[in-house]
Structure 1
Amino acid sequence: MKIIVPMAGMGKRMRPHTLTIPKPLIPIAGKPIVHRLVEDIAKVVKEPVAEVGFVINRSFGEQVEKSLKEVAKTIGAQGKIFYQDDPLGTAHALYCAKEMLDGNVIVAYADTLFKAEFTLDKEQDGIIWVHQVEDPSAFGVVKVNEQKVITGFVEKPETYVSDLAIIGIYYFKDGAFLQRELQYLIDNNVKNSGEFQITNALDNMKNKGVRFVPGQVDEWLDCGNKDATVYTNQRYLEYIKNDLIHPDTAGMENSAIIPPVYIGKNVKITNSVIGPYVSIGDDTKIKNSRIRNSIVQTNTVVDNANLENSMLGNYVTLKLSSSDFSIGDYNSVVENMHE
């Protein structure tokens, strides 16, 4: 089994947090989004994964590439890096990893997480994971017949055709078949709204006899903006609360923890109340503060702050009384408390 993770987008809706790192490396309950995604897929596959291919923008840099290869190693797989330098659509991103398209392949776009309890049925020609949504007009959707076989794909339907939104995770029994259809789109410049779309390749495969069935997930979690990411962090803390690690290296002085909370290594917490639903990265110092439902990343200083529904990046200094923040890496916000 192979996994391909297209993740070359610049994550503009998540700025300022994506000015220094790509969105899939933002932590959720102590692990990057893409790490959570790869782990969750490996759990439902229930067999060894040989390779994980990451399609990135070349500008992400060597350190990001190293981090992604380490993510692959955590599930016993080899990590491979591919580049998509021009944002030409979902099909084009996948085509950039064409050398991995043979045999059993799972494709998972790295802006979504999911929770599900099932085992992958490798005998199916193809599986497209979906989730029922209230407003299908914002998504690509699938149409299904009475036998629960997919009969069509519609991108952002203006009139109702289905409420089963494609969440961006696919299984292909024959990756080489998909590679040929992607090649056809590229060679013949077949685009929708100026981009090469994976739904066009899926439609061509269906018309040639490939039988696609929908896969259902229990929960579909978005990481598209700050509020959604904070909520996803909350849900993951709830999922893994029995497995949370509270390192002994965390220094606690006159403070209280309200679980579930993730606390990284070498964290110092003084005269503060943390939780519920808070993730704190390594080497962060928190003093005289109250933090709820928030993500605080590494090497950050928080002093005399009241935070809720907030995200603080890496190397942030925050000394300010407020309740809702989204502060990117390497920023300092300091309030003169004597004025």
Structure 2
Amino acid sequence: MSAISPQTMAVLAGRMGEGVLRQRLAMESEQVSHHYRHVEDFLHPEHLPSAGRLIHRVLTAVGLRERGRSNARRIRVGRNPVRLGRLPPAFEGCTLLHLSDLHLDVGRHYVDALVATVRGLACDACVLTGDYRFGIQGSCAPAIAALARLVPVLPKPVFAVLGNHDGIALVEGLEDLGVRVLMNERTALERGSARLHIAGIDDAHYFRTHDIARARDGLAPDACAILLSHTPEPYRLAAAHGFDLMLSGHTHGGQICLPGGIPLLTDSRAPRRVARGPWHCDRMQGFTSVGCGCSIIDARFHCPPEVTVHVLHGA
């Protein structure tokens, strides 16, 4: 568990809710000790250290280890047009650069590839949907050092949420770099008198410290609002709360897939129809990034890493 000062804890409790903060800190302690209260928490792939070693040995044995590593560094730039019925006219054509599942501390060559991919991309804002470090325990310092290389080349402003790999100490590290971390709270982009609201929730996959109602509280029913969530799992709740667009990641699109991009595993309780790319639920549009990094092992097959430019249009 990352140590935080009483002053920082008081600030975070006010932002995300005291109860969910204490829950997150307790579950971070479980990750460090590997003493999980629930079987389902123990069975997450990232909590099984032998999983990465086994995959590494299999890929090495069949001669695919280096190809998988090379695939993981070939990061694509995707473009996703989105039509939002309540988008203020002032935001017609607004562009959001979306990065998810960065897992930055996996190695210098990967960070070099990601920086080269996003450098010079002209967008109106950038959103990060969690998982900044490769492991789930230990110091956040290597991930923050890699973020210090990446953040300066991202379009500004930058908004972010935490994922299931991220210790709470990353909030301070990200915000020291000028990134606005949304912990069950919201902010807005402004153009004249028009506003495009951006809300963010804490991780709903492992920590389960998301509070969509808190993030939406006080917002007018007809306001156009985007929700950032590390995982698409709470998509039905997000739609019920009237969000217009939900941006997420976590699934990696499967990362290691069969030909045709068929995932072997998405590590998500959400249905596969929302596990990658664009989707919708009732009136809410959604997009789940396949991620620009890797988890468990730095390899990809039939699922190229990507960053996405979302282009917003009115209905």
Q: TM-score range by the shorter chain?
A: under 0.3
Q: Which is richer in helix?
A: 2
TM superposition score normalised by structure 1 = 0.26
Q: Which is richer in strand?
A: 1
Query: Structure with the greater relative contact order (CA < 8 A, sep ≥ 6): 1 or 2?
Result: 2
Q: Return the index of the structure with the highest Cα Rg.
A: 1
